[in-house]
Amino acid sequence: MKKILILYSIVLIFSCSNGGDGKNDNANTPQPEPEVWLIDKNKVLDGGPGKDGIPSIDNPKFVEAQSQVYINDNDLVVGVKYNNEVKAYPHDILNWHEIVNDAFNDQSLTINYCPLTGTAFGWQSMSNGEPSTFGVSGLLYLANLILYDRNTDSNWSQMLLQCVNGDLMGDFPTTVNVIETNWLTWKNLYPNTKVLSRDTGFYNDSHYNNYPYGPYLTVDDFFIFQVFPLNSTLPFKQRVYAIINNTAKVYQFSDFEGGNAIVDSFNGKNYLVVGNENVINAFELTNDFSNLNFEYCFNDTEVFFKDNEGNNWSIFGNAISGPREGQNLITPKSVVSFWFAIAAFYPDPEIYSN
Amino acid sequence: MFLRVLFCFCLFNCVFFTHAQTCCSGGIPLSNNIGLAPLEKGTLQVGIHYDYNNLNTLNFGTEKLDDNSRLRVTHSVLLNANYDITSRLSIEGLFTWVNQRRKITQFDNENLEQSSGIGDAVLLLKYNFSNTFGQNSSLNIGAGTKIPLGSTTEKNSQGITLNADLQPGSNVWDLVLWTLMSKNFNFRPSFGVWSQITYRSTGTNKEYLENSTYKFGNEFQAYLGFSDQFLMFNALTNPGISFKYRHAEKDMISGFDLDNTGGNWISVIPDFSIYIKPNIIFSTQFEIPLYSNVDGIQLTPTYRLTTGLLFRILPKKNIINLN
């Protein structure tokens, strides 16, 4: 009897030991110097869900703008026009997945969005010169998403736009300009846009009606992960547009009420910043374009601004018509962000003032 | 006859109140592993148990999501000791060693994070009121504290501090209140009904990630159980079944409620124990969730297994030999 019990106990314990897991099972990827980081390691936090615990969407499906029924006009989307395709990624879906590994006419692009800092970027799905998808590492730096590439398992800081840990430490992604605005603005700009479907393969439709972080958006001083330094010049969760050029310059949507096009200087470069209360984008004014006078003219078409030569320009800085048709303005690194985040990553940012 | 009833009662309590449950759904099982029933003055009881808690069910509220990519496992070794200072007053300590694992299986990859080490402990002072509800009944009350022995600074392979849920300790003292009621019946003295309630008022870790605060949600647990006794293989055995209700409030971070924590759970726990010697009891139990209603989206217990041995060292003159 005793022997049976002892045997039973041993079998039971081993049967529960979960298949002899090793210390770290990232078996498919090489192990770089794991503890070396380009950033202050003490400010990198375990977000809780774990690596890939927030699953990226790797096989996105899209629906036509007219057929989608879930997005309200005021809901925010990330809009991308790339390689002759136009797509919108609703925040409601990005809140739960953060990364979409997508393709625009066979050109791979990784759209990434951090719900805690309100920042979205698009970059080419490449690492180490080879195609790669990206996933959610489960780590955060200054409350901001750290992605990892599935080629080398290196970690990439979203807002720094740099690989900060792993074999590719120090590398930079090749970014693509993305727009963050509300659905009404985006569909007026691009009525034929495709929209990321809620048929993600992970959750049912209604799941995406829920916001995963409680009062995070509405309670200004509620932080799930503390951020230092905290700059209180503006409300922490105020959405601002920022140009990033070593440091950052911030533009408030309130300065663009009703539409505005301004020329501004920052860190030795001239920029055209154009937008309204819902959307802002900026362009470097290189010599070819420095003599033009720009004017906001958005009237619910793709034309967003025009110039004194008679050119009509899109929100992405493409000359849609006019003598310069086909030419493109250069877009700097820029992002829409919660104020606290841009001020933490780029301390003491300059704030544009009329 | 009296000795037999007493023996049944002792066995009944020992079997049911030495088993583990978790403080949070995936954490170290403290709250219901305390509460060894008092015996006679001078008795020492020592339990060594292994607890396996598997969380592989992803819930959104009460809705079970079709996603089993996340696995949270807690292996715990639980050592508890109870000493009866008098026939009514006893003191109990529970000490833990824990291995916590979080494994994500997505996109043909497995990613495992884990920590191991000594976990928090519990010290409980208990008082026994006998025959409160008639003959062969008992009411026990106790109060104690959770002692923060466990580490809260464990790091992963990249040198990053793991989040609170994966740490062996909590870095706070909690208040623990406990009560146990039991009743055996004349129509079948070996048959018993019992109920246990545990409340844990949690403290706040003011050094969480250096500059934040973290408070696990207060926790309430209530049990209702039934047990009987049979002779099997010439050994005394106790099969039983109990039902558990658990309520956990939301955790708080930096003073704000943290979504996707807390909830309500009901589970059923069949169990079995056997005397392998007059003073050694082997027991095992299996906890199966019946109802899970979590706040937001959370991993929720899939099953739990607890097994171990309880040794009782009675004062020599009082050793009971039933063989």
pLDDT tens column, B158-200: 889 898 889 999 899 999 999 999 999 888 989 999 999 999 9
Helices (H), B17-84: none
Q: B258 and A135 in contact by Cβ < 8 A?
A: no
pLDDT tens-digit readout, A194-206 = 999 999 998 888 8
pLDDT band at A13 (very low <50, low <70, confident <90, very high): very low
Helices (H), chain A: 2-15, 91-97, 183-189, 339-345
Question: Mean per-residue pLDDT for B236-255?
Answer: 94
Which residues between 211 and 230 in chain A have a beta carbon less than 8 angstroms from any beta carbon of chain B?
212-215, 219, 222-226, 228
pLDDT given for residue A204 in this prediction: 85
Rounded percentage of chain A residues whose pLDDT exceeds 70: 91
pLDDT given for residue B165 in this prediction: 87
Question: Whose CA is closest to A96, among B296, B163, B62?
Answer: B296
Distance from C-alpha of B105 to C-alpha of B101, rounded to nearest angstrom: 13
Distance from C-alpha of A224 to C-alpha of A222, rounded to nearest angstrom: 7
**Closest chain A residue by Cα to residue B165:** A48
For residue A10, pLDDT beyond 50: no
pLDDT given for residue A33 in this prediction: 67
Which residues fall within 8 angstroms of residue B102, CB to CB, at 6 or more apart? Answer: A50, A53, B70, B71, B72, B112, B113, B114, B165, B166
- Phi, psi dihedral angles at B48 (to 5 degrees): -130, 120
pLDDT given for residue A16 in this prediction: 40
User: What is each CA distance from A229 to A142, A144, A156, B36, B144, in whole angstroms?
Assistant: 9, 14, 21, 50, 40
Cα–Cα–Cα angle for B251, B254, B255, rounded to 5 degrees: 70
**Closest chain A residue by Cα to residue B67:** A202
**Closest chain A residue by Cα to residue B104:** A53
pLDDT given for residue A346 in this prediction: 95
Whether B202 contacts B174, CB under 8 Å: yes
Nearest to A23 among B157, B163, B235 (CB): B157
CB atoms within 10 A of CB B234: 7
Residues of chain A neighbouring B166 (CB-CB closer than 8 A): 46
- Whether the CB of B296 is below 8 Å from some CB of chain A: the reply is yes
Residue A289 is inside which H or E element, if any? none
Nearest to A26 among B111, B211, B307 (CB): B111
Whether B269 contacts B286, CB under 8 Å: yes
Task: Quote the tokens at residue B11.
Answer: 């066995």
pLDDT tens-digit readout, B42-54 = 999 999 999 999 9
Q: B305 and A23 in contact by Cβ < 8 A?
A: no
pLDDT given for residue B31 in this prediction: 66
What ipTM does the predicted assembly reach?
Answer: 0.77
Q: B253 and A35 in contact by Cβ < 8 A?
A: no
- Whether the CB of A46 is below 8 Å from some CB of chain B: the reply is yes
pLDDT band at B212 (very low <50, low <70, confident <90, very high): confident
Nearest to B296 among A23, A203, A212 (CB): A212
Distance from C-alpha of A11 to C-alpha of A17, rounded to nearest angstrom: 10
As a whole number of angstroms, the longest Cα–Cα distance in chain B is: 65
pLDDT tens-digit readout, A96-122 = 999 999 999 989 999 999 999 999 999
pLDDT band at B247 (very low <50, low <70, confident <90, very high): very high
Q: B106 and A27 in contact by Cβ < 8 A?
A: no
3-state secondary structure of A255: helix
Whether B115 contacts B162, CB under 8 Å: yes
Q: Is the peptide bond before A229 cis (omega within 30 degrees of 0)?
A: yes
Whether B162 contacts B150, CB under 8 Å: no
- Phi, psi dihedral angles at A344 (to 5 degrees): -80, -40
Task: Quote the tokens at residue A276.
Answer: 């309204």
DSSP B272: E
Residue B14 is inside which H or E element, if any? helix B2-16
For residue B22, pLDDT beyond 50: no
For residue A21, pLDDT beyond 70: no
Residues of chain A neighbouring B65 (CB-CB closer than 8 A): 203, 207
Which residues fall within 8 angstroms of residue B75, CB to CB, at 6 or more apart? Answer: A16, A17, A18, B50, B51, B52, B98, B99, B100, B101
Q: What share of chain A is helix, strand, coil (3-state, %, to 5)?
A: 15, 35, 50
For residue A345, pLDDT beyond 50: yes
The minimum CA-CA distance between A55 and chain B, rounded to whole Å, is 8
Distance from C-alpha of B166 to C-alpha of A157, rounded to nearest angstrom: 24
pLDDT given for residue B5 in this prediction: 35
For residue A257, pLDDT beyond 90: yes
Question: Mean per-residue pLDDT for A203-228?
Answer: 90
Which residues fall within 8 angstroms of residue B317, CB to CB, at 6 or more apart? Answer: none
Nearest to A26 among B109, B276, B296 (CB): B109
Question: Whose CA is closest to A42, among B206, B211, B152?
Answer: B211
Its pTM stands at 0.84
pLDDT given for residue A18 in this prediction: 40
**Closest chain A residue by Cα to residue B298:** A49
Domains assigned to chain A? 41-209 (no CATH), 239-351 (2.102.10)
Q: A247-252 and A350-351: which strand pairing?
A: parallel
Nearest to A18 among B101, B166, B260 (CB): B101
Whether B50 contacts B73, CB under 8 Å: no
pLDDT given for residue B320 in this prediction: 55
The minimum CA-CA distance between A320 and chain B, rounded to whole Å, is 41
CA B298 to chain centroid: 21
Question: Mean per-residue pLDDT for A250-272?
Answer: 95
- Whether the CB of B274 is below 8 Å from some CB of chain A: the reply is yes
3-state secondary structure of A7: helix
pLDDT band at A9 (very low <50, low <70, confident <90, very high): very low
Q: Give the residue, B302 or A68, on which the prediction is more confident.
A: B302
Nearest to B104 among A23, A51, A222 (CB): A51
Torsion of CA A181, A187, A192, A194, to 10 degrees: 50
pLDDT given for residue A26 in this prediction: 44
Distance from C-alpha of A288 to C-alpha of A304, rounded to nearest angstrom: 20
For residue B24, pLDDT beyond 60: no
Question: Mean per-residue pLDDT for A216-228?
Answer: 90
- Phi, psi dihedral angles at B267 (to 5 degrees): -140, 160
Question: Mean per-residue pLDDT for A6-17?
Answer: 43
Distance from C-alpha of B298 to C-alpha of B55, rounded to nearest angstrom: 10
Which residues between 158 and 177 in chain A have a beta carbon less than 8 angstroms from any beta carbon of chain B?
165
Residues of chain A neighbouring B281 (CB-CB closer than 8 A): none
pLDDT band at B32 (very low <50, low <70, confident <90, very high): low
pLDDT tens-digit readout, A28-67 = 545 556 789 999 988 999 998 899 999 999 999 999 998 8
pLDDT band at B21 (very low <50, low <70, confident <90, very high): very low
Is the sign of the CA dihedral A83, A85, A90, A96 positive or negative? negative
3-state secondary structure of B128: strand
Q: Give the residue, A116 or A354, on which the prediction is more confident.
A: A116
Whether A317 contacts A331, CB under 8 Å: yes
pLDDT given for residue B20 in this prediction: 25
